[in-house]
Amino acid sequence: MAEEAILGYLENHEEIADSGEFAATRGIDHNDVVNVIKSLHGFRYIEAQDIKREAWVLTDEGKKYTAEGSPEVQLFLAVPPEGSISKDELQKMFDPSVFKIGCSQAGKNKWVEMGKQVSRKVQHVEDKVKDLLLRIQDGQAIDKDGINALKARKLIVSQTWKGYSLRKGPNYAPKRKKVATDLTRENLQRGDWKELEFKEYNFNAKGQPAEAGHLHPLLKVRKQLKDIFLQMGFEEMPTNNFVESSFWNFDALFQPQQHPARDSHDTFFLKAPSTTRTLPEDYVERVKCVHESGGYGSRGYGYEWKREEANKNLLRTHTTAVSSRMLYVLAQKPFAPKKYFSIDRVFRNEAVDRTHLAEFHQIEGLVCDRGLTLGDLIGVLHDFFSRLGMSKLRFKPAYNPYTEPSMEIFSYHEGLGKWVEIGNSGMFRPEMLLPMGLPEDVRVIAWGLSLERPTMILYGIDNIRDLFGHKVDLDLIKRNPVCRIGIN
Ligand code: PHE
Protein backbone atom coordinates (compact mmCIF):
# COMPACT_ATOMS: atom_id res chain seq x y z
CA MET A 1 0.00 0.00 0.00
CA ALA A 2 2.77 2.44 0.92
CA GLU A 3 4.72 1.43 -2.18
CA GLU A 4 1.83 2.05 -4.55
CA ALA A 5 1.06 5.36 -2.84
CA ILE A 6 4.64 6.64 -3.23
CA LEU A 7 5.22 5.47 -6.81
CA GLY A 8 1.73 6.61 -7.84
CA TYR A 9 2.13 10.05 -6.33
CA LEU A 10 5.53 10.61 -7.98
CA GLU A 11 4.06 9.79 -11.38
CA ASN A 12 2.24 13.15 -11.40
CA HIS A 13 4.25 15.16 -8.87
CA GLU A 14 7.82 16.49 -8.70
CA GLU A 15 8.40 15.45 -5.13
CA ILE A 16 7.08 14.27 -1.82
CA ALA A 17 8.39 16.99 0.46
CA ASP A 18 7.89 15.20 3.74
CA SER A 19 7.37 11.47 4.23
CA GLY A 20 5.83 12.16 7.66
CA GLU A 21 3.03 14.33 6.31
CA PHE A 22 2.61 12.01 3.35
CA ALA A 23 2.05 9.07 5.71
CA ALA A 24 -0.22 11.02 8.07
CA THR A 25 -2.58 12.31 5.36
CA ARG A 26 -3.00 8.78 3.99
CA GLY A 27 -3.33 7.11 7.37
CA ILE A 28 -0.25 4.92 6.80
CA ASP A 29 2.22 4.14 9.57
CA HIS A 30 5.38 6.17 8.95
CA ASN A 31 7.58 3.16 9.80
CA ASP A 32 6.01 1.23 6.92
CA VAL A 33 6.64 4.16 4.62
CA VAL A 34 10.28 4.31 5.71
CA ASN A 35 10.79 0.61 4.99
CA VAL A 36 9.33 0.99 1.52
CA ILE A 37 11.49 4.08 0.91
CA LYS A 38 14.63 2.12 1.82
CA SER A 39 13.74 -0.67 -0.56
CA LEU A 40 12.71 1.61 -3.45
CA HIS A 41 15.84 3.67 -2.89
CA GLY A 42 17.96 0.51 -3.03
CA PHE A 43 16.63 -0.23 -6.50
CA ARG A 44 16.97 3.44 -7.43
CA TYR A 45 13.28 3.90 -8.16
CA ILE A 46 13.45 7.02 -6.04
CA GLU A 47 15.94 9.52 -4.67
CA ALA A 48 15.59 10.15 -0.96
CA GLN A 49 16.96 12.98 1.13
CA ASP A 50 17.03 12.86 4.95
CA ILE A 51 14.98 15.37 6.86
CA LYS A 52 15.06 15.85 10.57
CA ARG A 53 12.96 17.95 12.84
CA GLU A 54 12.30 18.42 16.46
CA ALA A 55 8.92 17.01 17.37
CA TRP A 56 7.02 16.94 20.63
CA VAL A 57 5.96 13.58 22.00
CA LEU A 58 3.91 12.75 25.09
CA THR A 59 5.58 11.40 28.20
CA ASP A 60 3.94 8.46 30.00
CA GLU A 61 2.28 10.93 32.34
CA GLY A 62 1.03 12.95 29.36
CA LYS A 63 -0.38 9.79 27.73
CA LYS A 64 -2.18 8.93 30.95
CA TYR A 65 -3.96 12.30 31.02
CA THR A 66 -5.18 11.90 27.43
CA ALA A 67 -7.16 8.92 28.69
CA GLU A 68 -8.13 9.99 32.21
CA GLY A 69 -8.24 13.77 31.90
CA SER A 70 -5.89 16.20 33.62
CA PRO A 71 -5.62 15.91 37.42
CA GLU A 72 -7.14 19.37 37.94
CA VAL A 73 -10.26 18.43 35.95
CA GLN A 74 -10.51 15.05 37.66
CA LEU A 75 -10.34 16.83 41.00
CA PHE A 76 -12.84 19.53 39.99
CA LEU A 77 -15.35 16.93 38.85
CA ALA A 78 -15.09 15.14 42.20
CA VAL A 79 -16.12 18.30 44.07
CA PRO A 80 -19.92 18.49 44.30
CA PRO A 81 -21.58 21.36 42.33
CA GLU A 82 -23.33 22.56 45.50
CA GLY A 83 -21.98 22.58 49.03
CA SER A 84 -18.55 21.12 49.74
CA ILE A 85 -16.54 17.99 50.46
CA SER A 86 -13.89 17.50 53.15
CA LYS A 87 -10.32 17.54 51.89
CA ASP A 88 -9.63 14.16 53.57
CA GLU A 89 -12.51 12.49 51.81
CA LEU A 90 -11.47 13.99 48.49
CA GLN A 91 -7.91 12.75 48.98
CA LYS A 92 -9.08 9.17 49.39
CA MET A 93 -10.51 9.23 45.88
CA PHE A 94 -7.14 9.77 44.11
CA ASP A 95 -3.59 8.54 43.75
CA PRO A 96 -1.33 10.75 45.88
CA SER A 97 0.36 12.35 42.86
CA VAL A 98 -2.91 13.03 40.99
CA PHE A 99 -4.37 14.56 44.16
CA LYS A 100 -1.34 16.78 44.76
CA ILE A 101 -1.14 18.08 41.19
CA GLY A 102 -4.94 18.38 40.95
CA CYS A 103 -5.14 20.56 44.10
CA SER A 104 -2.36 22.86 43.08
CA GLN A 105 -3.55 23.35 39.47
CA ALA A 106 -7.26 23.66 40.31
CA GLY A 107 -6.32 26.16 43.04
CA LYS A 108 -4.11 28.14 40.67
CA ASN A 109 -6.92 28.22 38.07
CA LYS A 110 -9.30 29.53 40.79
CA TRP A 111 -11.67 26.64 40.07
CA VAL A 112 -12.04 25.54 43.69
CA GLU A 113 -11.76 26.97 47.17
CA MET A 114 -9.23 24.90 49.11
CA GLY A 115 -9.48 24.63 52.89
CA LYS A 116 -10.43 21.86 55.29
CA GLN A 117 -13.54 21.76 53.10
CA VAL A 118 -13.28 22.03 49.32
CA SER A 119 -15.97 23.72 47.21
CA ARG A 120 -16.38 24.87 43.60
CA LYS A 121 -15.81 28.52 42.63
CA VAL A 122 -17.00 28.03 39.05
CA GLN A 123 -19.57 25.66 37.66
CA HIS A 124 -17.97 24.72 34.38
CA VAL A 125 -14.36 24.03 33.34
CA GLU A 126 -12.66 22.89 30.15
CA ASP A 127 -9.85 20.34 30.02
CA LYS A 128 -7.39 22.45 28.01
CA VAL A 129 -4.44 20.30 29.04
CA LYS A 130 -6.05 17.15 27.73
CA ASP A 131 -7.06 18.88 24.49
CA LEU A 132 -3.51 20.15 23.91
CA LEU A 133 -2.07 16.72 24.59
CA LEU A 134 -4.46 15.11 22.14
CA ARG A 135 -3.53 17.61 19.46
CA ILE A 136 0.17 16.91 19.97
CA GLN A 137 -0.50 13.22 19.80
CA ASP A 138 -2.18 13.76 16.40
CA GLY A 139 0.82 15.71 15.15
CA GLN A 140 -1.04 19.04 15.03
CA ALA A 141 0.74 22.31 15.76
CA ILE A 142 0.02 24.18 19.00
CA ASP A 143 1.16 27.63 20.14
CA LYS A 144 4.29 28.46 22.14
CA ASP A 145 2.48 29.10 25.43
CA GLY A 146 0.78 25.72 25.24
CA ILE A 147 4.09 23.99 24.53
CA ASN A 148 5.81 25.78 27.39
CA ALA A 149 3.07 24.92 29.85
CA LEU A 150 3.10 21.23 28.94
CA LYS A 151 6.89 21.12 28.88
CA ALA A 152 7.08 22.68 32.37
CA ARG A 153 4.74 19.97 33.67
CA LYS A 154 6.87 17.31 31.96
CA LEU A 155 3.91 16.07 29.96
CA ILE A 156 5.80 16.37 26.67
CA VAL A 157 9.44 16.06 25.61
CA SER A 158 11.13 16.92 22.36
CA GLN A 159 12.41 14.16 20.15
CA THR A 160 14.26 14.22 16.86
CA TRP A 161 11.97 12.96 14.16
CA LYS A 162 13.58 11.49 11.02
CA GLY A 163 11.93 11.27 7.63
CA TYR A 164 12.65 11.80 3.97
CA SER A 165 11.87 14.01 1.03
CA LEU A 166 11.50 12.00 -2.19
CA ARG A 167 11.89 12.40 -5.95
CA LYS A 168 11.97 10.06 -8.92
CA GLY A 169 15.16 8.06 -9.23
CA PRO A 170 16.99 6.89 -12.40
CA ASN A 171 15.06 3.57 -12.44
CA TYR A 172 11.70 5.16 -11.64
CA ALA A 173 8.61 3.32 -12.85
CA PRO A 174 5.01 3.73 -11.62
CA LYS A 175 5.05 0.04 -10.72
CA ARG A 176 7.88 -2.07 -9.46
CA LYS A 177 9.08 -4.54 -12.06
CA LYS A 178 9.45 -8.13 -11.10
CA VAL A 179 13.13 -8.93 -11.17
CA ALA A 180 14.66 -12.36 -11.40
CA THR A 181 16.74 -13.53 -8.47
CA ASP A 182 18.11 -16.72 -10.01
CA LEU A 183 19.39 -17.63 -13.44
CA THR A 184 17.78 -21.02 -14.08
CA ARG A 185 18.43 -23.79 -16.56
CA GLU A 186 15.06 -22.96 -18.14
CA ASN A 187 16.13 -19.33 -18.63
CA LEU A 188 19.16 -20.57 -20.51
CA GLN A 189 17.26 -23.12 -22.61
CA ARG A 190 14.51 -20.69 -23.57
CA GLY A 191 17.00 -17.88 -24.09
CA ASP A 192 14.81 -15.46 -22.09
CA TRP A 193 17.81 -14.55 -19.90
CA LYS A 194 18.56 -11.93 -22.59
CA GLU A 195 15.42 -9.95 -21.67
CA LEU A 196 15.29 -10.72 -17.98
CA GLU A 197 16.13 -8.05 -15.45
CA PHE A 198 18.08 -9.45 -12.53
CA LYS A 199 18.00 -8.32 -8.99
CA GLU A 200 21.24 -6.64 -8.03
CA TYR A 201 23.44 -8.19 -5.39
CA ASN A 202 22.97 -6.62 -2.01
CA PHE A 203 26.39 -6.78 -0.49
CA ASN A 204 25.11 -5.21 2.71
CA ALA A 205 22.56 -7.92 3.41
CA LYS A 206 23.34 -10.00 6.44
CA GLY A 207 23.93 -13.68 5.76
CA GLN A 208 22.57 -16.58 7.73
CA PRO A 209 24.28 -16.83 11.10
CA ALA A 210 26.87 -19.58 10.84
CA GLU A 211 26.06 -22.55 13.03
CA ALA A 212 28.99 -23.73 15.05
CA GLY A 213 29.78 -25.38 18.31
CA HIS A 214 29.82 -23.21 21.42
CA LEU A 215 31.74 -23.60 24.61
CA HIS A 216 29.86 -23.48 27.88
CA PRO A 217 31.05 -20.69 30.22
CA LEU A 218 32.17 -23.26 32.76
CA LEU A 219 34.39 -24.90 30.15
CA LYS A 220 35.92 -21.59 29.19
CA VAL A 221 36.72 -20.57 32.73
CA ARG A 222 38.01 -24.08 33.44
CA LYS A 223 40.39 -23.76 30.50
CA GLN A 224 41.66 -20.41 31.77
CA LEU A 225 42.24 -21.85 35.23
CA LYS A 226 43.97 -24.88 33.83
CA ASP A 227 46.31 -22.60 31.88
CA ILE A 228 47.10 -20.65 35.03
CA PHE A 229 47.99 -23.83 36.91
CA LEU A 230 50.12 -25.06 34.01
CA GLN A 231 51.92 -21.71 33.80
CA MET A 232 52.67 -22.04 37.52
CA GLY A 233 54.17 -25.49 36.93
CA PHE A 234 51.35 -27.62 38.38
CA GLU A 235 50.48 -31.12 37.10
CA GLU A 236 46.89 -32.26 36.71
CA MET A 237 45.65 -35.06 38.96
CA PRO A 238 43.45 -37.83 37.49
CA THR A 239 39.89 -37.03 38.58
CA ASN A 240 38.11 -39.62 36.45
CA ASN A 241 36.18 -41.29 39.26
CA PHE A 242 33.01 -39.70 40.59
CA VAL A 243 32.48 -42.74 42.81
CA GLU A 244 34.87 -42.89 45.73
CA SER A 245 35.07 -44.84 48.96
CA SER A 246 34.42 -43.11 52.26
CA PHE A 247 37.98 -44.12 53.11
CA TRP A 248 39.66 -41.85 50.56
CA ASN A 249 37.00 -39.15 50.77
CA PHE A 250 36.96 -38.90 54.58
CA ASP A 251 39.03 -41.34 56.66
CA ALA A 252 42.35 -40.76 54.92
CA LEU A 253 41.67 -37.05 55.50
CA PHE A 254 41.40 -37.59 59.27
CA GLN A 255 37.70 -36.78 59.14
CA PRO A 256 36.12 -38.67 62.07
CA GLN A 257 33.38 -41.19 61.28
CA GLN A 258 30.76 -39.23 63.31
CA HIS A 259 31.47 -36.02 61.43
CA PRO A 260 28.16 -34.45 60.26
CA ALA A 261 29.43 -34.15 56.64
CA ARG A 262 29.48 -37.97 56.54
CA ASP A 263 25.74 -38.05 57.14
CA SER A 264 23.48 -39.04 54.25
CA HIS A 265 21.98 -35.55 54.52
CA ASP A 266 25.21 -34.15 53.12
CA THR A 267 26.59 -37.09 51.17
CA PHE A 268 25.16 -39.29 48.42
CA PHE A 269 25.93 -42.93 49.26
CA LEU A 270 25.77 -45.62 46.57
CA LYS A 271 23.27 -48.49 46.71
CA ALA A 272 25.15 -50.65 44.22
CA PRO A 273 27.98 -51.30 44.54
CA SER A 274 27.56 -50.11 48.10
CA THR A 275 31.08 -50.87 49.26
CA THR A 276 34.62 -50.71 47.93
CA ARG A 277 36.55 -53.89 47.18
CA THR A 278 40.13 -52.99 47.83
CA LEU A 279 42.01 -50.65 50.10
CA PRO A 280 45.73 -50.71 50.97
CA GLU A 281 45.48 -52.79 54.16
CA ASP A 282 48.61 -51.67 56.02
CA TYR A 283 47.73 -48.02 55.40
CA VAL A 284 44.11 -48.63 56.49
CA GLU A 285 45.52 -50.01 59.74
CA ARG A 286 47.59 -46.86 60.34
CA VAL A 287 44.56 -44.63 59.57
CA LYS A 288 42.46 -46.64 62.05
CA CYS A 289 45.15 -46.14 64.71
CA VAL A 290 45.47 -42.43 64.17
CA HIS A 291 41.68 -41.94 64.41
CA GLU A 292 41.40 -44.12 67.53
CA SER A 293 44.47 -43.27 69.54
CA GLY A 294 46.57 -40.80 67.57
CA GLY A 295 50.32 -41.03 67.22
CA TYR A 296 52.76 -38.68 65.49
CA GLY A 297 52.29 -36.26 68.40
CA SER A 298 48.46 -36.41 68.21
CA ARG A 299 45.94 -37.80 70.69
CA GLY A 300 43.55 -38.93 67.95
CA TYR A 301 39.77 -38.79 68.37
CA GLY A 302 39.43 -41.63 70.91
CA TYR A 303 36.52 -43.51 69.31
CA GLU A 304 36.14 -46.99 67.87
CA TRP A 305 36.91 -46.75 64.14
CA LYS A 306 34.77 -49.00 61.95
CA ARG A 307 35.95 -50.58 58.72
CA GLU A 308 32.34 -50.86 57.38
CA GLU A 309 32.01 -47.10 57.57
CA ALA A 310 35.22 -46.63 55.54
CA ASN A 311 34.13 -49.17 52.92
CA LYS A 312 30.92 -47.31 51.99
CA ASN A 313 30.90 -46.02 48.45
CA LEU A 314 29.76 -42.45 47.78
CA LEU A 315 29.84 -39.72 45.16
CA ARG A 316 32.93 -37.77 46.11
CA THR A 317 32.05 -34.66 48.09
CA HIS A 318 35.32 -32.88 47.31
CA THR A 319 38.30 -33.33 45.01
CA THR A 320 40.46 -33.48 48.14
CA ALA A 321 39.64 -37.20 47.89
CA VAL A 322 41.74 -37.25 44.74
CA SER A 323 44.50 -35.31 46.51
CA SER A 324 44.60 -37.89 49.30
CA ARG A 325 45.03 -40.73 46.79
CA MET A 326 47.79 -38.84 44.99
CA LEU A 327 49.68 -38.04 48.19
CA TYR A 328 49.48 -41.69 49.23
CA VAL A 329 50.94 -42.76 45.87
CA LEU A 330 53.67 -40.14 46.27
CA ALA A 331 54.52 -41.47 49.72
CA GLN A 332 55.22 -44.95 48.33
CA LYS A 333 58.21 -43.68 46.32
CA PRO A 334 61.42 -41.85 47.28
CA PHE A 335 60.21 -38.35 48.06
CA ALA A 336 60.19 -35.66 45.34
CA PRO A 337 58.43 -32.29 45.65
CA LYS A 338 55.20 -31.92 43.63
CA LYS A 339 52.69 -29.32 42.57
CA TYR A 340 49.31 -30.80 41.70
CA PHE A 341 45.92 -29.43 40.64
CA SER A 342 42.52 -30.73 39.67
CA ILE A 343 39.26 -29.24 38.36
CA ASP A 344 36.30 -31.58 38.33
CA ARG A 345 32.86 -32.39 39.56
CA VAL A 346 31.85 -33.06 43.17
CA PHE A 347 28.47 -33.93 44.70
CA ARG A 348 26.69 -32.84 47.86
CA ASN A 349 23.20 -33.69 49.01
CA GLU A 350 22.13 -30.08 49.28
CA ALA A 351 18.83 -28.24 48.92
CA VAL A 352 18.89 -26.61 45.50
CA ASP A 353 18.56 -22.82 45.42
CA ARG A 354 19.94 -19.78 43.54
CA THR A 355 23.50 -20.49 44.60
CA HIS A 356 23.50 -24.23 45.34
CA LEU A 357 23.17 -27.33 43.21
CA ALA A 358 23.64 -30.93 44.27
CA GLU A 359 26.73 -31.03 42.06
CA PHE A 360 29.37 -28.46 41.23
CA HIS A 361 32.99 -28.24 40.13
CA GLN A 362 35.86 -27.88 42.50
CA ILE A 363 39.23 -26.40 41.73
CA GLU A 364 42.00 -27.68 43.95
CA GLY A 365 45.69 -26.94 44.10
CA LEU A 366 48.39 -28.37 46.35
CA VAL A 367 52.12 -28.02 46.82
CA CYS A 368 54.09 -30.71 48.56
CA ASP A 369 57.66 -30.05 49.70
CA ARG A 370 60.00 -30.17 52.69
CA GLY A 371 59.66 -27.32 55.17
CA LEU A 372 56.78 -25.38 53.62
CA THR A 373 55.13 -22.79 55.90
CA LEU A 374 51.88 -20.87 56.09
CA GLY A 375 53.82 -18.00 54.48
CA ASP A 376 54.37 -20.20 51.43
CA LEU A 377 50.64 -20.90 51.26
CA ILE A 378 49.80 -17.18 51.45
CA GLY A 379 52.41 -16.45 48.76
CA VAL A 380 51.12 -19.13 46.39
CA LEU A 381 47.52 -17.96 46.91
CA HIS A 382 48.52 -14.37 46.06
CA ASP A 383 50.28 -15.59 42.94
CA PHE A 384 47.35 -17.80 41.87
CA PHE A 385 44.52 -15.35 42.53
CA SER A 386 46.30 -12.32 41.08
CA ARG A 387 46.49 -14.24 37.79
CA LEU A 388 42.70 -14.39 38.02
CA GLY A 389 42.58 -10.62 38.44
CA MET A 390 42.04 -10.82 42.19
CA SER A 391 45.00 -9.16 43.83
CA LYS A 392 43.41 -7.88 47.03
CA LEU A 393 43.17 -10.89 49.35
CA ARG A 394 42.36 -11.37 53.01
CA PHE A 395 42.44 -14.52 55.09
CA LYS A 396 40.26 -15.62 57.97
CA PRO A 397 41.05 -18.48 60.36
CA ALA A 398 38.78 -21.46 59.66
CA TYR A 399 38.42 -25.14 60.48
CA ASN A 400 38.77 -28.25 58.33
CA PRO A 401 39.30 -31.71 59.84
CA TYR A 402 42.29 -32.26 57.55
CA THR A 403 44.10 -28.91 57.70
CA GLU A 404 45.75 -26.98 60.49
CA PRO A 405 45.98 -24.05 60.26
CA SER A 406 43.05 -23.44 57.90
CA MET A 407 42.11 -20.18 56.21
CA GLU A 408 39.10 -18.95 54.30
CA ILE A 409 40.11 -16.76 51.38
CA PHE A 410 38.35 -13.45 50.68
CA SER A 411 38.85 -11.15 47.72
CA TYR A 412 37.78 -7.53 47.39
CA HIS A 413 35.22 -7.29 44.60
CA GLU A 414 35.42 -3.79 43.09
CA GLY A 415 32.07 -4.20 41.30
CA LEU A 416 30.17 -5.22 44.43
CA GLY A 417 32.28 -2.97 46.65
CA LYS A 418 32.77 -5.64 49.27
CA TRP A 419 34.90 -8.62 50.34
CA VAL A 420 33.57 -11.91 49.00
CA GLU A 421 34.58 -15.40 50.08
CA ILE A 422 36.31 -17.16 47.21
CA GLY A 423 37.88 -20.27 48.68
CA ASN A 424 39.22 -22.38 51.50
CA SER A 425 42.79 -23.41 52.24
CA GLY A 426 45.19 -24.84 54.76
CA MET A 427 48.16 -27.07 55.56
CA PHE A 428 47.36 -30.78 55.64
CA ARG A 429 47.63 -32.20 59.16
CA PRO A 430 50.42 -34.58 60.22
CA GLU A 431 47.62 -37.06 61.17
CA MET A 432 46.83 -37.19 57.46
CA LEU A 433 50.34 -37.11 55.94
CA LEU A 434 52.43 -39.25 58.30
CA PRO A 435 50.30 -42.45 58.17
CA MET A 436 50.71 -42.28 54.37
CA GLY A 437 54.45 -42.61 54.89
CA LEU A 438 55.55 -39.13 53.78
CA PRO A 439 58.83 -37.95 55.40
CA GLU A 440 58.29 -36.06 58.63
CA ASP A 441 59.51 -32.68 57.35
CA VAL A 442 57.28 -32.73 54.28
CA ARG A 443 54.47 -30.17 54.41
CA VAL A 444 51.53 -29.90 52.03
CA ILE A 445 49.80 -26.59 51.42
CA ALA A 446 46.47 -26.74 49.61
CA TRP A 447 43.44 -24.73 48.61
CA GLY A 448 40.08 -25.29 47.00
CA LEU A 449 37.34 -23.21 45.43
CA SER A 450 34.31 -23.72 43.25
CA LEU A 451 34.43 -23.14 39.50
CA GLU A 452 30.84 -21.90 39.45
CA ARG A 453 31.41 -18.89 41.68
CA PRO A 454 34.02 -17.07 39.59
CA THR A 455 32.16 -18.08 36.40
CA MET A 456 28.93 -16.55 37.66
CA ILE A 457 30.75 -13.36 38.64
CA LEU A 458 32.54 -13.19 35.27
CA TYR A 459 29.40 -13.78 33.23
CA GLY A 460 27.02 -11.78 35.43
CA ILE A 461 24.81 -14.79 36.16
CA ASP A 462 23.06 -14.62 39.52
CA ASN A 463 21.16 -17.92 39.50
CA ILE A 464 23.27 -21.07 39.33
CA ARG A 465 20.39 -22.87 37.59
CA ASP A 466 20.93 -20.55 34.61
CA LEU A 467 24.51 -21.78 34.42
CA PHE A 468 24.23 -25.52 34.93
CA GLY A 469 21.52 -28.15 34.62
CA HIS A 470 18.38 -28.73 32.58
CA LYS A 471 17.11 -25.13 32.81
CA VAL A 472 20.08 -23.61 31.00
CA ASP A 473 19.08 -21.37 28.09
CA LEU A 474 21.11 -22.56 25.10
CA ASP A 475 20.98 -19.08 23.57
CA LEU A 476 22.90 -17.78 26.55
CA ILE A 477 25.60 -20.33 25.85
CA LYS A 478 25.71 -19.27 22.20
CA ARG A 479 25.74 -15.56 22.90
CA ASN A 480 28.20 -15.37 25.75
CA PRO A 481 31.48 -13.75 24.84
CA VAL A 482 34.87 -15.37 24.75
CA CYS A 483 35.97 -15.48 28.35
CA ARG A 484 38.31 -12.85 29.68
CA ILE A 485 39.60 -13.60 33.12
CA GLY A 486 39.75 -10.68 35.56
CA ILE A 487 37.02 -10.65 38.13
CA ASN A 488 37.49 -7.19 39.63
N1 PHE B 1 38.02 -29.62 50.42
C2 PHE B 1 37.75 -28.28 50.81
C3 PHE B 1 36.28 -27.99 50.56
O4 PHE B 1 35.58 -28.85 50.13
C5 PHE B 1 38.60 -27.30 50.11
C6 PHE B 1 40.01 -27.40 50.62
C7 PHE B 1 40.95 -28.00 49.86
C8 PHE B 1 40.33 -26.87 51.84
C9 PHE B 1 42.26 -28.09 50.30
C10 PHE B 1 41.63 -26.94 52.30
C11 PHE B 1 42.56 -27.55 51.53
O12 PHE B 1 35.80 -26.89 50.77
The CA distances from residue 271 to 112, 245, 313, 359, 487, in Å, are 82, 13, 8, 18, 41
Confidence check: pLDDT of 486 > 70: no
Do 155 and 280 share a domain, yes or no?
no
For 114, the domain range is 71-126
Do 454 and 330 share a domain, yes or no?
yes
What is the predicted pLDDT for the residue at 338? 97
> Length of the chain in residues, anyone?
488
**308 domain residue, yes or no:** yes
What is the predicted pLDDT for the residue at 485? 54
Residue range 414-428, pLDDT digits in tens: 777 889 899 999 999
- Return the half-sphere exposure (C-beta side, CA atoms, 13 A cut-off) of residue 215: 11
Do 223 and 279 share a domain, yes or no?
yes
Domains in the chain: how many in total?
3
Residue range 240-292, pLDDT digits in tens: 999 999 999 999 999 999 998 898 889 999 999 999 999 999 999 999 999 99
- Probe target for ligand 1 pocket from 259, 315, 364, with the most ligand atoms within 8 Å of CB: 364
Confidence of residue 488 (pLDDT cuts 50, 70, 90): very low
Do 338 and 475 share a domain, yes or no?
yes
Do 172 and 225 share a domain, yes or no?
no
Do 343 and 446 share a domain, yes or no?
yes
> Does the Cβ of 217 fall within 6 Å of ligand 1?
no
Do 313 and 273 share a domain, yes or no?
yes
What is the predicted pLDDT for the residue at 487? 46
CATH of the domain at 97: 1.10.10.2330
389 DSSP assignment: T
Among candidate residues 178, 205, 232, the one where a domain is terminated? 205
Residue range 282-340, pLDDT digits in tens: 999 999 999 999 999 999 999 999 999 999 999 999 999 999 999 999 999 999 999 99
Do 155 and 291 share a domain, yes or no?
no
Do 351 and 419 share a domain, yes or no?
yes
H helix intervals, 125-276:
128-137, 144-152, 185-190, 217-231, 246-249
Shortest-distance Cα residue to atom 6 of ligand 1 = 448
Predicted TM-score of the model (pTM)? 0.61
**Distance (Å, whole) CA 176 – CA 42:** 12
Q: Which atom of ligand 1 is nearest to the CA of 323?
A: 9
Of 53 and 169, more confident: 169
> Does the Cβ of 403 fall within 6 Å of ligand 1?
yes
What is the predicted pLDDT for the residue at 154? 93
The CA distances from residue 147 to 53, 132, 322, 427, in Å, are 16, 9, 75, 74
> Does the Cβ of 253 fall within 6 Å of ligand 1?
no
Distance 345 CA to ligand 1 centre (A): 14
**Distance (Å, whole) CA 483 – CA 476:** 13
> CB neighbours of 366 closer than 8 A, spacing ≥ 6?
323, 327, 338, 339, 340, 341, 428, 444, 445, 446, 447
> Does the Cβ of 46 fall within 6 Å of ligand 1?
no
210 DSSP assignment: P
CATH of the domain at 43: 3.30.1370.240
CATH of the domain at 472: 3.30.930.10
Confidence check: pLDDT of 148 > 80: yes
Q: Measure the N-to-C terminal CA separation of the chain; round to a whole number of Å.
A: 55
Among candidate residues 157, 174, 205, the one where a domain is terminated? 205
Confidence of residue 152 (pLDDT cuts 50, 70, 90): very high
Do 166 and 62 share a domain, yes or no?
yes
Q: Are strands 235-236 and 338-347 parallel, antiparallel or unpaired?
A: parallel
Shortest-distance Cα residue to atom 2 of ligand 1 = 448
> Does the Cβ of 450 fall within 6 Å of ligand 1?
no
**Distance (Å, whole) CA 446 – CA 339:** 10
Do 312 and 456 share a domain, yes or no?
yes
